[in-house]
Chains A and B, each alone.
Chain A
């Protein structure tokens, strides 16, 4: 009797201690993340500018004007398409590169630890420094890429990687080449393939050797073993990576802002949000665009999870 009372008093005490220990984090996260997001929703429905900021309160004139203005404004749909192309291209190439790297480093060799660590550098290095080196390397006047391209590869003139949209016309058909967009996608792939590499390496190490050894004895070639034994085991990890990388790339601001400033057909929605907020001081429109971006992302991710979840069930 007294024993159980002791235990329940301990449980009650634990509950109180638990709440006390978690509450500082909860308060910070609530006031600095949850409330601001709710406030974004409120701001998106009001006509707020930096100039009249002081006079607007929680209770204001609500209207959907921001959304209609944003959807009709020049370039918003273009920015959405660019965001989508950038995210799909960046995510896919990062995962494919990560997979190739993980496969290449699968068998142990001397110095593998160093190589693994070195491959993670693009991911851990500060984005501002990485972007600055890339812009210097790709600079049309003194950049290494153009120096070698014109000197060794026989390019007719330097390519402005970060500020041009070109056209290629083989056989009389004009194909637009979004040079700058491809370059920022390449940068994204370079910076985030280590993340995929890390996750896939960890997963590969958990695959039991016996399956592959059996396959090898049966005369399965390396590509067959990859296709039928290794890849199926990696698919769940690849699915998780796809979601994570897609979410992060979709909202990415730093890379594109630093490389191109959103010029030459690389304006993604997050850069647009920044421009509306800082350059135009139009808080309402900035909030509305951020919200549209978040809603689209939520819909895409939910659809993906539903689709993928069902496939998992069927399998």
Chain B
């Protein structure tokens, strides 16, 4: 097929291209040469500007923003870091209590990561390596779970945790998060285990290692890059999550996560926008830092499924 195309396209090359064709070619090239940097600049601006604005506003005094909303710069003498102390201080001290929100978010996110890896790493190993009853069906189920709409789960989980009187606890939220990410996690890790040659494990087996020993001493160390990128991926999902935090923790201010706290306080008129911008920066910075540290690993993980399609 490709051979045929090559020979076919080779024929016209002997005749020189018509004048009109070359002119169109030249025009298109020139237009694209000008257009490309403009397009790139526009995309960069669109992607970065909101974050720049977020940081800018978090340092500007509120009165100054209201007086001069169009300004894109803050002079060093006007920098007001008071918004950060205000947003972090506890409610009793007249602040917004973000410090405790950060603690809650971190507890839930780190807990979700540890707990998910604890169940998903052995699970992914089993799905990748071991032939057991129902293996294919379980993999299919886990992939399907990835596409189950969260809003469909919202109603029953809300009702269930209300009924056992656990709604409002961070543990309930953690369990729900683990259930939703474990399936994806297994899918991603399995793809990685599949790339590790079985021969290494066979060698260990011949040396008398049991399955679990082989898994611990051979496969796990080799899968470490995938496990770490998976951990970061789970952390991001749990840290950013909003719907279930809203459903579960709304009435329990002491348990609010950063996302929930920010969304609740932005609805009230009493809290100044600049203070909340400081809150947004606090919510966003950990994710952006993690992202730039792990970008190479993460993007590899995100597109791992794409190569199949």
Q: Which residues of A contact B (CB under 8 A)?
A: 10-11, 13-19, 21-22, 24-26, 28-29, 31-37, 39-40, 43, 48, 50, 53-54, 100-101, 104-105, 107, 115, 117-122, 124-137, 141-144, 147-148, 151, 190, 194, 198-199, 202-203, 206, 214-215, 217-219, 221-223, 236-237, 239-240, 247, 250-251, 253-254, 258, 270, 273-274, 277-278, 283, 286-287, 290-291, 293-294, 297
How many interface residues does chain B have, given as a range? Answer: 35 or more
Interface on B for A, CB 8 Å cutoff? 6, 9, 12-13, 17, 21-22, 24-25, 28-29, 32, 36, 39-40, 43-44, 46-48, 50-51, 53-54, 57, 65-66, 69-70, 118-120, 122-123, 125-127, 129-133, 135, 138, 141-142, 145, 147-160, 162-163, 175-176, 178-180, 182-183, 186, 205, 211-212, 236, 239-240, 242-243, 247, 250, 258-260, 262-263, 266, 273, 276-277, 280-281, 283-284, 287-288, 291-292, 295, 299, 302-303, 306-307, 309
Whether B299 pairs with A198 at a CB distance below 8 angstroms is yes
A236 and B309 CA atoms in complex are apart in Å by 7
Residues of B with C-beta under 8 A to A26: 123, 138
Q: Which residues of A contact B57 (CB under 8 A)?
A: 136
Q: Given A29-B183, A199-B306, are A219 and B40 neighbors across the interface (CB < 8 Å)?
A: no
Are A147 and B236 in contact, with the CB atoms below 8 A?
no
Within the complex, which residue of B6, B39, B131, B299 is in contact with A120, where a contact is CB–CB below 8 Å? B299
> Is A36 touching B157 in the complex (CB atoms < 8 A)?
yes
Evaluate contact between A28 and B163: CB separation under 8 angstroms.
Answer: no
Chain A: which residue is nearest B54 at the CB level? Answer: A133
* Bound complex: CA A270 to CA B277 (Å): 27
The smallest C-beta distance from A256 to any residue of chain B, in angstroms, reads: 12
Q: A25 touching B120 by the CB < 8 A rule? A: yes
**Bound state CA distance, A203 and B41, in angstroms?**
23
Whether B155 lies near A21 (C-beta < 8 A) is no
- With a cutoff of 8 Å between Cβ atoms, the chain B residues found around residue A236 in the complex are 309
B12 to chain A, nearest CB (A): 6
Closest to B50 in A: A133
| Among B39, B132, B186, B262, contact of A14 (Cβ-Cβ < 8 Å) | B132
User: Which of A24, A137, A151 lies in contact with B123, CB distance below 8 A?
Assistant: A24
Question: Contacts A21-B125, A29-B141: A39 and B156 contacting too (C-beta < 8 A)?
Answer: yes
A29 CB contacts on chain B under 8 angstroms: 141-142, 145, 179, 182-183
Set of chain B residues within 8 Å of A18, measured between Cβ atoms = 126, 129-132, 135
Q: How far is the CA of A266 from the CA of B204 in the complex (A)?
A: 59
A11 vs B131: C-alpha distance when bound (angstroms): 8
Given contacts A33-B179, A129-B54, contact A287 B131 (CB under 8 A): no
A19 x B132 contact (CB < 8 A): yes
Supposing A14-B211, A24-B123, A43-B156 touch, asked if A118 and B133 sit within 8 A by C-beta, the answer is no
Q: Would you list the 9 A-B pairs with minimal beta carbon distance, nearest first?
A: A18-B132, A32-B179, A18-B130, A251-B149, A36-B156, A219-B17, A21-B126, A240-B309, A21-B122
